Amino acid sequence: MRSQDRLVMKALRGERPWPPPIWMMRQAGRYLAEYREVRAKVPNFLEFCYETNLAVEVTLQPIRKFGFDASILFSDIFVIPDALGYPVRFEEGRGPVLEPLDKSLIDALRPERAAGHLDPVIATVKRLRAELPVETTLLGFCGAPWTVACYSVAGHTTQDQTAARTGAYRDPKLFGRWIDILIEASIDYLTRQLEAGADAVQIFDTWAGVLDEAGFKQWCLEPTRRIVEGVRKRVPNAMIIGFPKASAARLKTYIAETGISAVGLDWTVPFELAREIQTIVPVQGNLDPMRLVAGGTALDEGVDRILEELGDGPLVFNLGHGIVPQTSVEHVEQMIARVRAAKPR
């Protein structure tokens, strides 16, 4: 099967397969008992991401279990700083911890080592394309430079990323230098994923919504535009999904200025706006992950509303952010069944 004939790719090109194709952000994860069993084999999370055999296995688990229309590479947004030589580690119960940003750390980076360091991830992509069902879209991804850089100012996440915002104001030259390095590394990384067999890629900008207008333009729009442009110089017409979380009021500007192929919507985006956006690019989303936790009527109503409001345009059904660990497998099954039983429109 050709890449363009897969359902998710049809939707990303502006077609309207019905029922809409479906996948979930973080669909390979801790809500699955089989994932937890594999994860326990490698205590160090970053090492787990580089273990090709294990990364392939956990990426395939939700496809075998649920038959999603797309599979997203199991990895992490912090493999890029790790590959560059930026000190990063994961702590149980705390998540990613990076050394606080300073000039000496940036001076010590070795961008030339990144490609070799990321070879195991690219090997995972190649294996996945060979082992996935032929009809399943394979998605790659990276973290947007702003979101990745956020964690490197305070060394960890902070409320509303106050440390990152303050650091970017105080020393925009140093922060901008770090962003530039991340842009170039992201271009290479996404390009390699596409060349290895990914059908499309997604740029996750989880913390885009905390920026003011000038910051959004400088740290979200411009880096994303440069990544999209850089990838397409090497892979013409590459399909790239942008996901600037909590940025509803700026979505039209984001689409116009970045050149993305489709946009992911979080659960706060009003449907009226989402329908307008569908006339510009396809949309992906936007079920509240807490409806998936709740299940029952709340879940059914959430699914039905999205299908009703966005079903007349190009849509990839997804969550408005990643699935959370406490989600019941039965609720995932309920959601998929509800989407796939949607009446013809």
Catalytic site positions = 26, 30, 39, 76, 151
List strand residue ranges (DSSP E) for 221-337, in order: 240-244, 262-264, 283-287, 315-319
| Partners of residue 319 on adjacent β-strands | 287
One-letter amino acid at 214 equals A
Please report the DSSP string for 84-125 in residue order: HT--EEEETTTEEEEPPP-HHHHHT--GGGHHHHTHHHHHHH
Instruction: Name which of 227, 163, 170, 160 is nearest 193 in CA terms.
Output: 227
Give the integer Cα–Cα distance in Å for 250 and 271: 15
Contact 69/284 with Cβ under 8 angstroms? no
Contact 241/23 with Cβ under 8 angstroms? no
Give the integer Cα–Cα distance in Å for 39 and 48: 7
List strand residue ranges (DSSP E) for 118-265, in order: 137-143, 200-205, 240-244, 262-264
Contact 117/189 with Cβ under 8 angstroms? no
Give the integer Cα–Cα distance in Å for 320 and 145: 20
Polymer length in residues for the chain: 345
